Amino acid sequence: MAYGKIVADQIQHSSEGTVGTQYVVSGVAKAWVNFNGTGTIAARDSLNVSSLTDNGTGLYTPNLSSPFANTNFCVTTGSRSETNGYILVDNSYYVSRTVSSCRLATVSDTGGAQDGTWMNVSYLGDLA
């Protein structure tokens, strides 16, 4: 099987203007995962994720297959718990952040660790 490639610096829409392909490449999520953080945690679907580590109640680390060039990648998160509704995800664990992983912590509105039923995480940045 052959895998084709189109090389272009810009993409032009018929009426809405032109955009540089570097913006398209830069703006695309390089990894994402939707997982259930309750019970035996499990990914529902993903891209560029090799595994999930369950570190304890409300503590998770998705591990990436294709790592970022540095640790300054952007992580966006959203989460919901079946018992507590919307819960907050802290993805700013810079101490344990590497180019291929970022620890997440989920807490309820009272500040206690809370497992998330619907954990959604996406990553943007430059790959290595």
Partner 1 sequence: MELKELHLFDRLCWAKENLEPHQSDYRVVFEDNVDEPAKVLVPDPNWMACAMHGGILPPVWVYHELERDEKTPGFKKHTRGYLLHETEPMPPMSEEEAIEYLIMKDIPNHIWQTWNEGNKPKMVICKKEQLPQTREWRNAWKIDPNINSKEAA
What is the contact surface with partner 1 in residues (CB under 8 A)? Answer: 1-5, 30, 33, 38-43, 45-57, 63, 65-67, 69-70, 98-101, 113, 115, 127-128
Between 50 and 76, whose beta carbon lies closer to partner 1? 50
Compute the least distance from the CB of residue 4 to partner 1, in Å. Answer: 7
Residue 62 CA neighbour count, 13 Å, CB half: 29
Between 4 and 27, whose beta carbon lies closer to partner 1? 4
- How far is 66 from 64, CA to CA, in rounded Å? 6
Compute the least distance from the CB of residue 110 to partner 1, in Å. Answer: 17
Compute the least distance from the CB of residue 97 to partner 1, in Å. Answer: 11
CA distances (Å), origin 22, targets 27, 73, 87, 116: 8, 16, 35, 35
Compute the least distance from the CB of residue 93 to partner 1, in Å. Answer: 13
Between 89 and 103, whose beta carbon lies closer to partner 1? 103
